[in-house]
Amino acid sequence: MSVLIYAENAGGTFKKSVFEAVSYARAIADQNNTTLTAVSIGNVDAAELATLGKYGANKVLNVSGNKLKDFVNQAYASVIAEAAKSEGSAIVVLSNTFSGRGLAPRIGVKLEAGVADGVVALPVQDGGSFKVKKTAFSGKAFATVELTSAIKVLSLVPNSYKVVETDGTAEVVDFKAEAKDSDFKAMIKDIVRASDKVSLPDAEIVVSGGRGMKGPENWGLIEELASLLGAATACSKPVSDAGWRPHSEHVGQTGIAVSPNLYIAVGISGAIQHLAGVSSSKVIVVINKDPEAPFFKVADYGIVGDAFEVLPQLIAAVKQYKASA
Amino acid sequence: MKILVCVSNVPDTTTKITFTDNNTQFNTNGVQFILNPYDEIALARAIELTDGGKGTVTVINVGDATTDATIRKALAIGATDAVRVNAKPHDAWYVAYQIAQYVKANHFDLILTGRESIDYNGSKVAGMLGELLDLPSVSIIKKLDAGDSDATVEREIEGGKEVLTIPYPFVAGAAEGVAEPKIPNMRGIMAARTKPLTVVEPVEVKTFSEIVSYETPAPRGQVKLVAAAETAKLVELLHNEARVI
């Protein structure tokens, strides 16, 4: 009864969220005194596949070929479920990414497995019960879910589990899995990747702007600070509603929930809906000219001041820190 | 085109979340329930796609009678008719299974959900429905253009987007960008009173998950304020104290 981790690649390479998920799955395998198998789908080279061993995978199943080179939800779910059956896996772990969120429920149905998505901690297994903590109410709370099925599917929130390096190595083997022709009804026409931008959901640092930035023409300051820190950019709902920034940057209860190590909010007052989406951030910095802004009540560090005066100084300070580091 | 929009009844976004019974139950006392914001987006797009007699929009909800007000709001916004599966939703599997049974008996060209409900944030129903009905599913879409035999959708991926064409029928979870939510007008509200709301009984189904307890995030300490002129101090704190840069 092994543990299976789906190692999602982006253009042939694994991101940190995969190594977090592999480390997390390794810990679950250790809890159960069993092995960890990773399954990779798409064209990933052997050296990259082998890196999964460093985070605790004992074996890597490599599914390649042109038909499966790009992500097709239905087909990938079939392959992962096949891999789980072939390995006799009792627990399947995915990253709670956009793709993972589409796969987990399909895999759950295929394996008649309970699905806990958005998990943020290791499961507690006690006398046959299996309980795991997940986010709920858009970050305003956590729920502990008990899964009662024989097989369990978990999807792990990026940045919620640390990457743990081991001195292990993984055996990489080719895996032939069946996906029906009808699994390929959805056809990919185009993939557009903004290669210079840090992906928001799994970013370790996020710099976010609100109405206090006064207009889209001022976003250069947010982008410059983000670029210096290797951060993703984000915004509040009023900003995306006004069309200053794309909806894909909207962070909050009805946008993307983020859990970076550092969230810097500039000119955002901190409405309850915005706080819901960022409350899992490890450290929150708030820059706002209104000392009564509710965001200061949940911030770790704050600067009361005008964004247009503070940001250039902060950018200069980060440059100086970078130069001396 | 026949479109089914799956809707949830969720706590209002301003709700302060608390729990009762030793943190095992969500405290609904004083909480206003609303149509899930993402489902409103799905509904708005469905209405646009069928505007001018080009089809019908049915909304379906799994819930007890207390969700009727939310269903009537969906009808007031412009849905043609509604179905309520008369059961307290247990988990996403339970909800998806009930809806799948209805879809098997009533063909739809397109099934839309919101990308997730804002209470349990699962984004599971679209994928589960797709699997239960052996249909393609896209869990989070940002754009939906409908053609005659297929639709073109944009899906968000980390750091970019993917454009897909999918033949009908399929299941998709709508996110921001798909449509602007519509506000019901007085005519819609009046019309909603007489639109059909069919109540069907649930089928029996095993469930695999149960919420056993809740907790709220640990409160943060007092904010440490840094003077506006001392941004270097902030950088130093983030490096040496918080260790995040």
pLDDT at residue A195, as a whole number: 65
Between A247, A254, A257, which is nearest B13 by CB? A254
Question: For residue B160, how many other CB atoms are within 10 A of its CB?
Answer: 17
Burial class from Cβ neighbours inside 10 Å (0-12, 13-18, 19+) for residue B49 reads: buried
Average pLDDT over residues A199-224: 95
B192 contacts B78 by C-beta, under 8 angstroms: no
3-state secondary structure of A161: coil
Between A113, A142, A317, which is nearest B235 by CB? A317
3-state secondary structure of B76: helix
Residue among B36, B158, B241 with most chain A CBs within 10 A, to mutate:
B158
Instruction: State chain B's mean pLDDT as an integer.
Output: 96
Q: Which residue of B has its CA nearest to A97?
A: B158
Instruction: State chain A's mean pLDDT as an integer.
Output: 95
Kindly report, residue by residue over B70-92, the tens digit of the pLDDT. Answer: 999 999 999 999 999 999 999 99
pLDDT at B48 over 80: yes
Same fold, A2-183 and A200-324: yes
B96 contacts B128 by C-beta, under 8 angstroms: yes
Task: Show the tokens assigned to B7.
Answer: 């809707």
DSSP string, A32-88: TT--EEEEEES---HHHHHHHHHTT-SEEEEE-SGGGSS--HHHHHHHHHHHHHHHT
3-state secondary structure of B114: strand
Domain coordinates in residue numbering, chain A: 2-183, 200-324
| Tokens 């750091």, located at residue | B159
Pairing of strands B19-20, B25-26: antiparallel
Domain coordinates in residue numbering, chain B: 2-218
- Cβ–Cβ of B238/A285 closer than 8 Å? yes
Between B17, B124, B227, which is nearest A105 by CB? B124
B30 contacts B222 by C-beta, under 8 angstroms: no
Across the A:B interface, residue pairs with CB atoms under 8 Å apart total 288
A305 HSE (CA, 13 A, CB side): 19
- Nearest Cα neighbor of A292 from A319, A269, A322, A320 is A269
CATH match of A2-183 with 3.40.50.300:
no
pLDDT at B35 over 80: yes
> What is the CA A286 to chain-centroid distance, rounded?
23
Burial class from Cβ neighbours inside 10 Å (0-12, 13-18, 19+) for residue B149 reads: exposed
Kindly report, residue by residue over A220-229, the tens digit of the pLDDT. Answer: 999 999 999 9
Average pLDDT over residues A268-291: 95
Between B96, B123, B227, which is nearest A101 by CB? B123
Q: Which residue of B has its CA nearest to A180?
A: B134
Residue A249 forms contact with B (CB below 8 Å): no
- Cβ–Cβ of A98/B122 closer than 8 Å? no
Average pLDDT over residues A231-249: 94
- Cβ–Cβ of A303/B226 closer than 8 Å? yes
Kindly report, residue by residue over B180-212, the tens digit of the pLDDT. Answer: 999 999 999 999 999 999 999 999 998 999 999
pLDDT at A202 over 90: no
- Cβ–Cβ of B232/A190 closer than 8 Å? no
Pairing of strands B150-157, B2-6: unpaired
Burial class from Cβ neighbours inside 10 Å (0-12, 13-18, 19+) for residue A217 reads: exposed
Kindly report, residue by residue over B138-168, the tens digit of the pLDDT. Answer: 999 999 999 999 999 999 888 789 999 999 9
Residues of chain B in contact with residue A319, where contact means CB-CB under 8 angstroms, are: none
- In which band, very low, low, confident or very high, does the pLDDT at A65 lie, cut at 50, 70 and 90? confident
B24 contacts B213 by C-beta, under 8 angstroms: yes
3-state secondary structure of B107: coil
- Alpha-carbon distance of B172 to B170, in angstroms, equals 7
Amino acid at B84: R
CATH of domain B2-218: 3.40.50.620
- Nearest Cα neighbor of B9 from B36, B49, B37 is B36
Residue among B110, B133, B208 with most chain A CBs within 10 A, to mutate:
B208
Higher pLDDT, residue B217 or A29: A29
Question: For residue A306, how many other CB atoms are within 10 A of its CB?
Answer: 14
- Cβ–Cβ of B244/A254 closer than 8 Å? no
pLDDT at residue B222, as a whole number: 93
Query: Model-level pTM?
Result: 0.94
CA distance B174 to chain A (A): 12
pLDDT at B98 over 80: yes
pLDDT at A194 over 80: no
- Say which CATH superfamily domain A200-324 falls into: TPP-binding domain (3.40.50.1220)
pLDDT at residue B156, as a whole number: 87
Dihedral sign from CA coordinates of B120, B122, B126, B130: negative
